[in-house]
Amino acid sequence: MGFASIIDQDRAIHFLRVLLHKGTIPHALLFSGPEGVGKQTTALAFAMAANCEQYGSSDRIVIEHPEASIGSAKFPVESCGSCRSCRKIVSANHPDIIRIQAQGQMIRIAQIRDLRYMLSMKPHEARLRVVIIGDAHTMNPEAGNALLKVLEEPPDRTVLILTALQKSDMLPTINSRCVHLRFKPISAKFLSSLLTETYGVDAPDAQILSVLANGSFSRAVAFKETNLIAWRHWLIDVMENLTEASIGMQLAFAEKLSQNKAFIKHTLELIRLWMRDLIIVKYNPDKVLNQDMLHRIRRTSNKLSEKVIFSCISSIQQVQKAIDNNANIKMALENMILLMAERAK
């Protein structure tokens, strides 16, 4: 759970280690980056390092050992993971490590009001109290304004760590009071290695999953657990023959897709990436993501104009947005499938 568990985010971890080593912790940090790249895991690792009882110091937030040379200075590497404080944080039982997540689709003002009440009291036992607000971009305006009051008058011995997809998704007034740290997508190489070494995925399948995951570890694992390879083949088989199917079959296809609501976003992304490959293969086949289907992609691409393909991609993106706005999934998918089939004729 410590810094050593964070994958392919060397720059971000280096920055946080420097903060800990110097003992100069800002009152608010904003971690931005794609879903599933380790933002919240890093926030917990930071909380562990700041409060580790074995490697920490009572008067300065610094880890004495173990350490490694980074540049010309030595910075702490890791919390111990076994002291009372570390164990409490890992098990989510530490009273001063506060985590806030969206309730439904958003973080509500009542949650921030509760937080403000908790922060009005001193930390129970932590050297540094850490508040982790996950998906902070989902705060409604009232919640955002309530949080702003906390940032304007930061509590003693407390750091707030907000995570968001994009810095631009946050209120500018909140951004201006946070130190921003950008997390990058995890490289396909790292994801592929993790899938083979940790989850036992065959190397060829791991390579495909890591590319399709588009830099997200959580997405790569979700793909592995839902047998995405077989699902992807079925999706593309249907999409390739969509124009020849009857309207009834097209509607049945939309119905099947709508039944798996938990996986619908991944399904739409798979179709979008396949359509993307239909464009890319016309100019640079080496950049095709679905390399194991290159010959099929080239064949289908030759049948469709770029205008048609871009139009289909636009339809997919519209459904993706509609789902985020709680639209009727089945109806949105039916419209998308019918439009794509008509345009591809």
> Using one digit for the tens of pLDDT, what is the confidence trace for 169-214?
899 999 999 999 999 999 988 899 989 988 888 888 888 888 888 8
Q: How much is the average pLDDT of 225-244?
A: 88
Give the CATH H-level superfamily of domain 3-182. Answer: P-loop containing nucleotide triphosphate hydrolases (3.40.50.300)
pLDDT band, very low/low/confident/very high, at 114 (cuts 50, 70, 90): very high
Mean per-residue pLDDT of the chain: 86
Strand-pair partners of 29: 161, 179
Output the DSSP codes for 25-71: --SEEEEE-STTSSHHHHHHHHHHHHH-TTT--SSS----SSEEEET
Question: According to the model, what pLDDT value does residue 78 have?
Answer: 67
Question: According to the model, what pLDDT value does residue 299 have?
Answer: 93
From-to residues of CATH 1.20.272 in the chain? 226-343
For residues 11 and 7, what is the distance between their CA atoms, to the nearest angstrom? 11
63-67, 194-198, 255-259, 284-288: least confident range: 63-67
Whole-prediction pTM: 0.75
Burial class from Cβ neighbours inside 10 Å (0-12, 13-18, 19+) for residue 302 reads: exposed
Percent of the chain with pLDDT over 90: 50
Question: According to the model, what pLDDT value does residue 61 have?
Answer: 42
Q: Is the peptide bond before 185 cis (omega within 30 degrees of 0)?
A: no
CA distances to 50, 114, 145, 254, 311 from 98, rounded to whole Å, are 14, 11, 19, 42, 45
* pLDDT beyond 80 at 73: no
What is the tens place of the pLDDT at every residue in 14-58?
999 888 887 788 999 999 999 899 999 999 999 999 888 886 544
CATH architecture of 226-343: Up-down Bundle (1.20)
For residues 32 and 18, what is the distance between their CA atoms, to the nearest angstrom? 19
Question: According to the model, what pLDDT value does residue 56 have?
Answer: 57
Which of residues 99 and 244 earns the better pLDDT score?
99
Q: How much is the average pLDDT of 98-117?
A: 92
What is the tens place of the pLDDT at every residue in 128-161?
899 999 999 999 889 999 999 999 988 888 999 9
8 Å CB contact between 283 and 301? no
Q: Amino acid letter at 45?
A: A
Q: How much is the average pLDDT of 1-5?
A: 82
8 Å CB contact between 329 and 231? no
* pLDDT beyond 60 at 108: yes
pLDDT band, very low/low/confident/very high, at 67 (cuts 50, 70, 90): very low
* pLDDT beyond 80 at 256: yes
What is the tens place of the pLDDT at every residue in 309-344?
999 999 999 998 888 787 888 899 999 999 888 887
Strand-pair partners of 103: 106
pLDDT band, very low/low/confident/very high, at 75 (cuts 50, 70, 90): very low
* pLDDT beyond 70 at 68: no
From-to residues of CATH 3.40.50.300 in the chain? 3-182
